[in-house]
Amino acid sequence: MDNNLPLTEAIFYILLAVRKPNHGYGIIQEVSEITGGRVVLGPGTLYGAINSLLSKKWIMLYSEDMASRKKKEYLITKEGIEVFFKEVKRLEELVRNAKLMEGLA
């Protein structure tokens, strides 16, 4: 099995938030929004995760405008998309198998 999986919740949502160019603060906000405030990424957690995703080449630096000191934006790579969908497949299998429990709830 792919030893990159399962993804942590933080990594999963960061990948999702950089499907289009996004910067640090934007990632924190979007993740909080789409999870109804359940997943709030600490800036230290995000910083560490971004650096590890960059070194794995799952995301890349999209823009770094030195002159205007614009915020750095990140974008998912092909590898990142691949890993993301592998994880989605794994999650779908979990949900599919969870149906065996139906009737007990």
Partner 1 sequence: MKKFRLYYDKDREQDWLQKMSSEGWALKKFFLGVYTFVPCKPGEYIYQIDLLENWDGDKEDFASFMEDSGVEVVSQWYRWVYLRKKAEDGPFEMYTDIDSKINQYNRIKNFFRAAFILEMGGFLIEMNAALRTKSLLFWIFAILAGVFAILFLRIVWRCQWKIEQLQREKG
Binding site for partner 1 (CB under 8 A): 8-10, 23-25, 28, 40-50, 69, 71-72
Residue nearer to partner 1 on the CB measure, 9 or 92:
9
Which residue do the tokens 């560490």 mark? 48
Question: Closest CB to partner 1 among 20 and 71?
Answer: 71
Asked if residues 2 and 86 have their Cβ atoms less than 8 Å apart, the reply is: yes
Nearest distance from C-beta of residue 47 to partner 1, angstroms: 5
Asked whether 39 and 81 are in contact (CB, 8 A), the reply is: no
* Closer residue to partner 1 (CB): 40 or 81: 40
Query: Which is nearer to partner 1, 35 or 99 (by Cβ)?
Result: 35
Q: How far is the CB of 67 from partner 1 (least distance, A)?
A: 14
Q: How far is the CB of 102 from partner 1 (least distance, A)?
A: 26
The CA distance from 77 to 61, in Å, is 10
Q: How many helices (H) and strands (E) does the chain have?
A: 4, 3
CB of 25 to partner 1, least distance (A): 5
Quick check: 13 and 40 in contact, CB under 8 A? no
Residue in this structure with the two tokens 């000191």, named with its chain if needed: 69
